[in-house]
Structure 1
């Protein structure tokens, strides 16, 4: 079992919350999305953003805001029971517009080189650039559409 991470575009956080199923799932939501496995926003996507922007990766490179669960996290005690959505997920975050803009700004000619660099991330279980380049192209396409329509990118995570 792995971590499922879907990236999608939407006009705003309110429309995301309205479209989610009561359990937080995205099934039938109608958003354009890219389904991935194990491409978390902080580390794996963050390494791609670092490669695009030519800066060193850091854990705070991809800034995001929690959209789901909608209840505040019960700090400092944490959730009271194992059924709390903060424990069970799924979780949805809105990515900072700088992530969208970095992806949307990638020229087609840079895609093969970026894919080759991204696949070296040890968190990715990829041995051939042909396996990661289509994912990169889909993420770029999603970001281009989001930016053109004034939308944001979101990350849905489920265990």
Structure 2
């Protein structure tokens, strides 16, 4: 079972929550028409895999918390250390949506075209991307960089929707 992951831009968390309520938690990208502009990035979680990309851009080592995010959905309190009480709990299978920090958006948006090959070459060295090539990952990286740039230019935020 893989994790479905979409990154998208939106004006604010209230607009995101409204979209989720109208689509029963479905990805804003799979609505007809799509609710927001975004990128399908299956399996690319924000904390680790996107975090590895952020580390590659900044020329630093990945660390826990490098990608700051705030939960937008579900709107119920997160379960304690014992986990969700039942499979019915939205925290058990998702979807989950988080707002990425403006620093993450701006880091992605700030990658210049001539830097992309070196950034992607560093990114694919991450253990989580074992077997991936720079050539296969570059289109996704390019889409994320452009999405972040448009979000920054429109004074919007980046969000990540995930579900099992």
Q: TM-score, normalised to structure 1's length?
A: 0.93
Alignment match, 2:129: 124
Query: 2 CA distance for matches of 1:113 and 1:16?
Result: 34
Query: 1 CA distance for matches of 2:4 and 2:130?
Result: 14
Aligned length: 159
Deviation at 1:147, TM superposition (A): 0.2
**Structure 2 residue 94 is the aligned partner of structure 1 residue 89:** yes
Q: What does 1:1-159 align with in structure 2 at a 5 Å threshold?
A: 1-20=1-20, 21-26=22-27, 27-28=30-31, 29-75=34-80, 78-159=83-164
Query: 2 CA distance for matches of 1:157 and 1:44?
Result: 13
Deviation at 1:134, TM superposition (A): 0.5
Query: 1 CA distance for matches of 2:26 and 2:134?
Result: 31
Deviation at 1:23, TM superposition (A): 3.0
| CA displacement 1:108-127 (0-9 Å, x = unmatched) | 00001111111111212543
Query: 1 CA distance for matches of 2:129 and 2:59?
Result: 19
Using a 3 Å threshold, how does the CA distance of structure 1 residues 73 and 128 change in structure 2: closer, same or farther? Answer: closer
Deviation at 1:79, TM superposition (A): 3.0
Deviation at 1:76, TM superposition (A): 5.6
Deviation at 1:71, TM superposition (A): 1.2
Query: 1 CA distance for matches of 2:76 and 2:23?
Result: 13
Q: Runs of 5+ in structure 1 lacking a partner?
A: none
Query: 2 CA distance for matches of 1:50 and 1:98?
Result: 12
| CA displacement 1:15-65 (0-9 Å, x = unmatched) | 001011453112314211100111110111001101111222101100100
Q: TM-score, normalised to structure 2's length?
A: 0.91
Using a 3 Å threshold, how does the CA distance of structure 1 residues 33 and 126 change in structure 2: closer, same or farther? Answer: farther
Q: Runs of 5+ in structure 2 lacking a partner?
A: none
